[in-house]
Every structure is written in C-alpha cells, then in structure tokens.
Amino acid sequence: MLTRASVDSATRRAQQLLLDAINQPADLIRLSVADWELLVRVGRRARLLGRIEADLAQRGLLHAIPTGAAQHLQAARQVITHRQTLITWEVNRILWALAGSATPLILLKGSGYLLARLPPARGRVFADVDLLVPEEKIGEIEEQLVGHGWFKTEIDPYDDRYYRVWMHEIPPLRHSERGTEIDLHHRLLPRTSRLPSSPEPLLAAAQPLADPRLHVLSPPDMVLHALVHLFLEGDPDEGLRLRDLLDVHDLLCHFAQQTDFWADLVARAGALGFRRPLFYGLRYAQRLFATPVPTSVVQQLAPAAPPRPLLALMDRLIPLALLPEHPDRPRGRATLARWLIYIRAHWLRMPPGLLTRHLSHKAWLRLRGVRKRVDLAQLDLRQQ
Amino acid sequence: MGDEAREEFLCVSRAAASGGLLWRSWDADLYIVYQPSSAETHVFNGPTAAILRTLDDRLLTLDELKSHVEQALGAQRGDLAEADFFAAVHRLDELGLIERVQAADDVR
Amino acid sequence: MIIGDLARQDVAQRLAGDGLGIRFGPFNIRIRSELASFAALAHQLYAPYPIPGEASFNDFHVRLARPRGLRRWWRQQVCFAVDGQSPFAPYTVEHAFPALEWGINWCVATRSHHLLMLHSAVVERQGKAMLFPAWPGHGKSTLCTALIHSGWRLLSDEFGLVHPADGSVLPIPRLIPLKNESIDVIRRFRSDAVIGPAFYGTRKGTVAHVRPPLDSIRRADEPARPRWLVFPRWLAGAALSLTRMPKSQAFLMVATNSFNYEVLDATAFSLVADMVDACNCYSLCYSNLDEAIRVLGELADADQG
C-alpha cells in the first residue's frame, strides 16, 4: 500500500522534473533514463513535450538524450509542425474567403502567437483559430465564411443558446474539407462575467501584422487576455493549464524588452479591471518559472491581492491545479483542487443561477458519456 | 464566372508556390500533388495539372490561360469545354493553388 | 531474458507491483494489473517475448484497473489506462485481455509519429516485405496468419511501421486478434498454431489471439524492404484473381489506410510515393486460403528484383 508521504514525494519529483526541464533545459542532458521516462509522461500530460523538444533542438542537444525519449519528443514535434501548418493555412484561407472586406481581424491566443512569431508559439499545439471581431460584423463574417466552404457546427440546442445568449463567441465554424475550427469572438469574456469585458478598447489598441487585415492585441492586452484565459477557462479534468501560465511567462519576458511595457501593463490592468488576475498571474509565474518582474510592479499590484485567508488558500489550490500529478499516483486533493478552481472560474463568468444550470447540464452530459471519451477515428481501431 | 472575372489575371498562388509543390505521376492523365502550405494531397486530371503547370510564374488572363492549356494538352483551340475549365480554375482557387490578381493592380 | 523465463507467480507479482516489462518490436511496454486471470494468460501468450533490460526506456505505461466510483459495485468491470488516464469506456472484466491488447495498439497508433504508421499487415521473405493495406473485414488478419504459418515471417498484423530515414518497414510482431469465423479457419489451416482462449461478445464479436511463430518474435529487430503491395479481399465462393493495380490507386489506398499520413506532412507523401515506386501492386480476390498462399508464394519465387 502506498503511504501518503511516498505519493507526495513521487509527485514532487515528477513536478520538479517538469519545472526544471522548462527552466533549465540545458541540464536535461544529465537526466537518467528513469527520469526521462517520468518526464515524458508528465510532459505529455501537461502538453509540454513539444516545448521541451524545441528548447533542446535550439541548443543542439537532441542527440544527447536517450533515444527512447528523443523519439517521443520527435513525435510531439511532428504533430506541432503539422498543426501549425494547418492553423497558418486556415488564416490564409479566411483572408481569401473575406477578400474585399475591410474588417480587421484580431488573431487571439495561439493563432496570434504563431502569426506574430511570438515566443509562446515555440513547441506549442494550437487547436483552432480564434478571432476577435467587432460584434456588429459577426453576422457578415459568418455569412461570408459559410458561403466559402465553412459550416456552422451542429451542437445541441442548449449549447447553441448558451453560446449565443450568454457567451463571448458564437458556435465554432468548421471547414467542410479541412476540419479546422474557427472561433469567432466579439469580446474576451462572456457577457455574464463578473469581470468587465467591453471589447472597444482592445480593438482600438490592436496592432497590425504584415498583412494589414490581420492584427494581434497590444502587448499589455495580450498578456491580460492570456491570464483571463488561464484563470477563467477552466476544465475540471485538466485543472488550470500549466502551458497557459508558460505563455504568460514567455510574453512577459519578451515584451519586457520594450520600454514602458511594465508601466503600460499595470495601467491597462487598472483601466480594464484586471488587476486581480494580473496579481495572480505574476505571483504564480514568478513562483513556478522565476519570471523576472520588477519590484516596483509587485508593489504596485500588492493592493490587488485578495484578503489574506483567501490568498493562502489560492497559494495551495492553484499550484495543485496547475501542476500534473505523478501518472501512477493521482491524489484526491489535486482532483478536488481542479474542481474548486473550475467552479470558481465559472463563478467569475456567470451569475450563480446560471452556474448551477450549466454545471448540472454538463454533469448530465458526462454521465451519458457524451464528452471526454476519445474516439480514434481510425479504421480497425475505431470499431473496438 | 461572369465578364467581371475576365478582367482578372490568374497566377500560381505565392502561398502554394513558396513551399514548392511535390508531383508524382504513374498513370496517364493522373497527377498526385502534395501542397506543403496546406499539408494536403490532391489528385488532378490532365487539364487541371496543365493549368497549374502553364501558369507557373506567369500572369495570364482566363482566355490566355485556356488557350495555353489547350496547346499544352495538344488540343485544338476551343476543345476544352468552358464549364470544365472554369470548374478546375474555381477549384484551384479554392485550394489556394492559384491567385486572382485584379487588372487594376497589375504587377506585370 | 524472455517472459517464459519467469515463473507464473513471478509474472503475477511484477504485474501487481512495478509492472511487467515487455518488448514488442521497437516499443517497450510496462504493464500493471492485479487481475489473476490476466497474469495467467499473459504468462502463456507472451512467453516468447523479450523483457527489456533494467536501464531501458519504457515507451508506454499501461494498466488494467478497476474503475473508480459507484460503478465498480454493480458490475465487474475493468478500465484500460495509460499514464493514469482512461481514454475508453470500461470493459467487462472477462474482456480484460483483449482490452489490453487493443489499448497497446491505441498507444502506438496515437503517439508514435516519429514513424509513418500504415494500417497494414506486413510479412517478409528473403528480406522483401509484402504489405496488405486493407479495411477491416477484408480478411487481412486471416491471410496474414496463414502466410506466417507457411514460411513467411510476420512483421505485423496491424501496423506497417515505416522508418522515415530509409523507408524500411520495422517489425512489431504482436499477437494477432482473429475474429469470429477466422478462428476456426486458422485452426483447420494449421492445427499446431498457438491460439489463446476465445473471448465471446466483445465489441468485435468473438476474438481469439494467435501467437506468431517463434522465429518472427526472435527476429523483431530485422527490418525489411517493401517489395509488394497487395490489397486483399475475401469473397465467399470467389475464384482466385490476382491483378495488377494502377500505382496511383495504390498510392491513394495506402495513404488513406494510414494512422498518421496527414500528420507527417511532406515526409509521408514522399515515403508512400517511394514505396509505391518500389513495389509491384496487386489486388487479390480469394475464397480459398490455400490457393491464395500458393499464388503469393509464386509471386515471391518469381521475383528477381
């Protein structure tokens, strides 16, 4: 029987391996085969294998690690390269379909990092293209895309209503041949959110890319959006995504080279009402990735901290929800932390009555096994 | 495709061409083409493949293209059915393999 | 060391403890299970497979575990788990063995993108590989099982693992799951074939696993060059026909019968195209297994290339 202490120490070792791999990739060549084996397992769970591969490749160290581990990293890189090609191409085709339209398209998250060539794109899988557009243009854009080969994905009527009435995006559009999805957003947070989410200031500050129809958010807005995404788009199984916090770390390190970035960031967080998420984001990025944050910024944000008992609770819950468990020794505490964080995320997004309705609907879907089960769309294997 | 379209020029898409297409052909009139920009594999018949190869790095109007393709296929002028030709052009445009360039911003 | 070198008790202890290591072609698997019935079967059917050395890298950690939650109390069930995650709905406990076998295939198919993975049976003679890419139900497993009991070496019943560096096919000689009528067909074809117990009422009907001949398992590190692509189809009462297939068609059938053709981008295109270039391509229609074996043998004998 495993004692709690041995489970804790196995988990700590797994988590430390992962953080060390991200923070000191050059030291990876000293890992034993057994450590590599564990790192590949937790790295896969945290979807950071591609990041580890990219860091090693950059240093020319891929040949210096055990072959077995290198093959898994290579497999991860293959998927990432492929997905990045698909996302880049999808954006190309969106521009083609919207030819003649002057509406600026703001690429959010992954597709934005990728097309703006920002550091978080390195070794990262992105599933969809996320676009922010003025709300009054949504219908027009949706119509043009549908006229050029995309279709509105069929979702159950509850979800459709949920999206359109309460959310900040419309149900995804999917191309009939390619299968890549486009999420059209008209704001960054649901209408129902307790945090403010007026999109006008974001649209006004967005910065153009090489193709003047494409934009990304301004540096402070991009960091704040990454934080909002991290803390408010929870998933009860996965918890908070460590790689989303890593995106924040990468963006901070990158933009810190620009003069006035930190001052702009703090000011913008105040103006948009995101000082609390920024406080949390900087705190946990510093703790896990040693992100260099100027002391003056930490002091300026100190008043945005939650009351002391809540902060103490968050200091325990958030790392539990962020870091992957040892794959053979999951702990009930971490599962609970993930649920608590998920409920908190939904609390921030929705008024309480709606929250209960949504959670119970999700739970019901889960009991029927509609979500979560992977179906490998492949031939013989599909039929088992 | 109306008269308006005839004012346009067509060229091989920069996005497609920048990656360089990979071609294989084992059987008459059948081409298997890999497009690195989209990671897609296409199967083209002779006329469709001829459109791509004829355009290569040239800018041509639809009419010019059609007669060049007929020549490349060893056919008489007007042999290629308009409907088939336009369908192929439309499909290649949709796949991002060719681009339309307005006469106004002619870059010749 | 091979699994058969361990006492049955030892296999059970490893399965219930840190896991039983086993090597299937290029992959090291670590299996955990506390089911006694599974241990007995693993000891029997996995006997000739090698145990990776202590310092080897394990590619997949898989486990047969009892589901958590209320469900465990009203029906005897088992979950396949990899790295602590259960990607599939639970199985009844009687189907634990086929569930594990299939789960390992799933791990390979979804995670091994350092190789091109065709959905194909592969057999070899004199260093030359014959591939049978096929849709389920076309008799690929039956034909493959009959061939490897008739002088051909098994590379794989399920995966054509193509190495991107040189286009060679890597062996992964796993157990072959025969379905329904095929089980008796093979029993009649070779009475000495090693076949495990029949599992009734699985998601694919009745399943029984054939253990490949020892020579195939021992030579699991010998790749082969692709030489023939044969697209088989079993049709009741059909006369034997082996006809040349246009290479364009062969290309499309190989590419679409693949686990990760699209993920490997241009590499996959070039690998499949080179394979089609190097292979003679045929479609085979048959009803009589002995006739099919004979005509494929003649094809190999006639090949001087």
> pLDDT tens across A53-94, in order?
999 999 999 999 999 999 999 999 999 999 999 999 999 999
Q: CB-CB: which of C252, C266, C276 is closest to B43?
A: C252
pLDDT given for residue A363 in this prediction:
39
CA nearest to A214, candidates A132, A137, A125: A132
Same domain, C193 and C268: yes
**Domain stops at, among C111, C130, C165:** C111
Contacts of A255 (CB under 8 A, 6+ apart): A219, A220, A222, A223, A261, A265
> Which pLDDT band, with edges at 50, 70 and 90, does A172 fall under?
confident
Interface size between A and B, measured as CB pairs under 8 A: 22
Report how many domains make up chain C.
Answer: 2
Same domain, C273 and C124: yes
**Domain stops at, among C111, C144, C166:** C111
Same domain, C73 and C137: no
Residues 7-36 of B with CB under 8 A from C: 22, 24-27, 30, 32, 34, 36
Q: How far, in Å, CA of C78 to CA of C17, rounded?
A: 18
Same domain, C193 and C291: yes
Same domain, C64 and C190: no
Same domain, C130 and C241: yes
Cβ pair B38:A89 closer than 8 A: yes
For residue C187, give both structure tokens: 């029993």
Predicted confidence (pLDDT) per residue in C65-109, tens digit: 887 665 555 568 899 999 888 888 888 999 999 999 999 999 999
Same domain, C126 and C99: no
**Mean pLDDT along residues C272-296:** 96
Predicted confidence (pLDDT) per residue in A134-161, tens digit: 989 999 999 999 999 998 876 666 566 5
Per-domain residue ranges of chain B:
3-16+46-101
Same domain, C134 and C257: yes
Same domain, C191 and C211: yes
Predicted confidence (pLDDT) per residue in C183-224, tens digit: 999 999 999 999 999 999 988 899 999 999 999 999 999 999
Q: How far, in Å, CA of A233 to CA of A248, rounded?
A: 15
Rank A288-297, B33-42, C251-260 by mean pLDDT and report only the highest.
Answer: A288-297
Q: What ipTM score was computed for the predicted complex, to two decimals?
A: 0.94
Same domain, C102 and C120: no
pLDDT given for residue A372 in this prediction:
30
> Which pLDDT band, with edges at 50, 70 and 90, does A382 fall under?
very low
Q: CB-CB: which of B36, B39, B94 is closest to A149?
A: B94
DSSP symbols for A6-73:
HHHHHHHHHHHHHHHHHH-GGGGGG--HHHHHHHHHHHHHTT-HHHHHHHHHHTT-GGGS-HHHHHHH
Interface of A with B (CB under 8 A): 82, 85-86, 88-89, 92-93, 96, 148-149, 178
Interface of A with C (CB under 8 A): 33, 36-37, 41, 44-45, 66-69, 71-72, 74-76, 78-79, 81-82, 85, 325-328, 330, 369, 373-374, 376, 378-381, 383-384
Q: CB-CB: which of C248, C255, C266 is closest to B26?
A: C248
Cβ pair A86:B39 closer than 8 A: yes
Same domain, C158 and C266: yes
Domain containing C60 equals 3-111
Percentage of chain A modeled with pLDDT above 90:
56
Same domain, C148 and C293: yes
Judge whether C60 is closer than 8 Å to chain B, CB to CB.
no
Cβ pair A75:C119 closer than 8 A: no
Residue B9: in which H helix or E strand, if any?
Answer: strand B9-12
Judge whether C263 is closer than 8 Å to chain A, CB to CB.
yes
Cβ pair A44:C87 closer than 8 A: no
Predicted confidence (pLDDT) per residue in B28-71, tens digit: 989 999 999 999 999 999 999 999 888 877 888 889 999 999 99
For residue B8, give both structure tokens: 């346009």
Cβ pair C102:A381 closer than 8 A: yes
**Domain stops at, among C111, C134, C150:** C111
